[in-house]
Chain A
Amino acid sequence: MNNPNKKRLRRTMMFLNAQKPGLIKDPYIYKPDSIMLDLEDAVAENQKDAARFSLYHALKTINYRGCERVVRINGLDSPYWKEDIRCSVAGGCDSIRIPKTESAQDVKLVEREIAYAEKEFGRPEGSVLIMAAVESARGVMKALDICESSERLFGIALSGGDYTKDLQTHITGTGIELMGARQNLVIAARAAGVQCFDTVYTDLDNMEGFRQDVETIHLMGFDGKSIINHLVIIHPAGIIQVCISSDPLSSKQLIDQMISVFICLTDLGDNIIRHGNLLRIQRCLYSNLITTGKRCKEKVGFTNGIK
């Protein structure tokens, strides 16, 4: 099995509720590396069935312009996950994200169902990849087993909310409560030669905290970070922050990417992006572009409101 997408670039993975048409119709404008269409926690218990139809047609018809399309299925302790896999594979998803992974066995179960679905819907064997989310103390301790459980597994991700609950603490914003788990996961992932992704940053009003968080996980060796879309307004800034922190050299490609995000945002106007946020993005872009000189300044036209 040799899937060229296994090692692709994944700095940002944007969470989207698969049941909300308004969210899933155009997330590619923010240019995350991956989008994650959620059938699990974001979807109410009585909408699990409807979410699948919405997911299937989104996968079939919407052009996500190169974003990797990951589907988060329901937990293996729920009655939904097998049909979730059939639906996702039939729709043509790139990867499946397993929530609450605690053992290699969990991954193997999902792998088996994916293989059945690939056969049923005529997709090439091995075309669907897997990522495992670790959300418990047990999962963290079994990280290496999980990383080595399947050829299809491209990486593991920490899910901070549930993990800290299991640990009997909570998200503090300092990262202290996540230290051990982050370290353990990234070491396990590197030992197994797979990627490793950090949890979401939930304090949406604290951009400086977010920047530091991204900086920390980047230095620790993480490949990328999950970002949320419950509030659309915060995302674009989030992506830019992640891009900047992941690549201090500000390559041409990166700058171009940021500029196009910025231009998209400006076009969208006040409906989606609060003025304050826009200024914050401008400032953030500016401080990073200043080193790359006139070209970018001219391209974006930074004269307005920026000191």
Chain B
Amino acid sequence: MDIVRPAIAGTLESSDCQVTVEKGEGNVDFSMESSVINQYGNQIRKVELETLKNLGVSDVKLTIVDKGALDCTIKARIEAAVYRSVLQTEHLPWGGDIR
């Protein structure tokens, strides 16, 4: 899946995270801001890579501002941002690429 246009999903409320995706420069460029980066930075990174892999996204600049989100929320926000970037809101692959 290619990132077509910049897109953003999520909020800065507690337990949420805000994810921004932009067209990359041929690879996955990842930046993160989190108050629990020392405790959960590696885990957030792992969830991010796994989610992008499932979606088949390999060329993206992704930014996460985390406010203590659970893994399932991080996944949901990344997917929302990626599908927003291609303007797809219907016939989504639930249980397929989204899992």
Binding site for B on A (CB under 8 A): 20-22, 25, 48-50, 52-54, 56-58, 60-62, 82-83, 86-87, 90-91, 121
**Cβ contact within 8 Å between B15 and A56:** no
Interface check B39, CB cutoff 8 A: no
B71 — which chain A residues lie within 8 A by C-beta?
A: 61
B61 to chain A, nearest CB (A): 20
Chain A residues in 8 Å Cβ range of B73: 21, 25, 54, 57
Which A residues lie within 8 Å of B72 (CB)?
57-58, 60-62
CB of A249 to closest CB in B, whole Å: 39
- 17 A–B contact pairs at CB < 8 A? A20-B13, A21-B69, A22-B13, A25-B70, A48-B89, A50-B9, A50-B10, A50-B80, A53-B98, A57-B72, A57-B75, A60-B72, A60-B99, A61-B72, A62-B72, A87-B92, A121-B94
Q: Beta-carbon contacts of B6-30 to A below 8 Å, as 1s and 0s?
A: 0001100111100000000000000
CB-based contact A53/B80 at 8 Å: yes
Interchain nearest-CB distance for B44 vs A (Å): 14
Known: A53-B75, A53-B77. 6 other contacts (CB 8 A): A50-B9, A50-B80, A52-B92, A54-B76, A54-B80, A121-B95
| Interface residues in B47-99 (C-beta closer than 8 Å to A) | 69-73, 75-77, 79-80, 83-84, 89-92, 94-95, 98-99
A69 → B minimal CB distance (Å): 14
Decide if B16 touches A21 in the complex (CB within 8 Å).
yes
Whether A22 and B92, one on each chain, are in contact in the complex, defined by CB atoms closer than 8 angstroms, is no
Nearest CB of chain A from residue B90's CB, rounded to whole Å? 5
Interface size on B, residues (CB 8 A): 26
Least Cβ–Cβ distance between B51 and chain A, in angstroms: 10
Q: Say how far A144's CB is from chain B's closest CB, in angstroms.
A: 35
- Shortest distance from the beta carbon of B52 to any chain A beta carbon, whole Å: 14
Q: Name the CB-closest residue of A to B17.
A: A21
| Contact yes or no, B80 A49, CB < 8 A | yes
Q: CB distance B15 to A49 under 8 Å?
A: no
Nearest-neighbour CB distance to chain A for B70, whole angstroms, equals: 6
- Residues of chain A with a CB closer than 8 A to B16's CB: 20-22
In the assembled complex, how far is the CB of residue B58 from the closest CB belonging to chain A, in whole angstroms? Answer: 20
Residue of A nearest to B73 (CB): A21
Min distance, Cβ B1 to any Cβ of chain A, angstroms: 15
Q: Smallest Cβ distance from B14 to chain A, in angstroms?
A: 5
Closest chain A residue to B93, Cβ basis: A90
Q: How long is the Cα–Cα vector from A62 to B41 in the complex, in angstroms?
A: 21
Q: Do A50 and B76 have beta carbons less than 8 Å apart?
A: yes
Complex: A101 Cα to B5 Cα, angstroms: 38
CB–CB B84/A49 < 8 A = yes
B69 to chain A: which residues have CB within 8 Å?
Answer: 21
CB-based contact B89/A83 at 8 Å? yes
* Shortest distance from the beta carbon of A238 to any chain B beta carbon, whole Å: 22
Residues from chain A with a CB closer than 8 A to the CB of B13 are 20-22
Q: Nearest residue in A to B8 (C-beta to C-beta)?
A: A50
**Closest 8 A-B residue pairs measured CB to CB?**
A90-B94, A57-B72, A53-B76, A22-B15, A50-B80, A61-B72, A21-B73, A54-B76
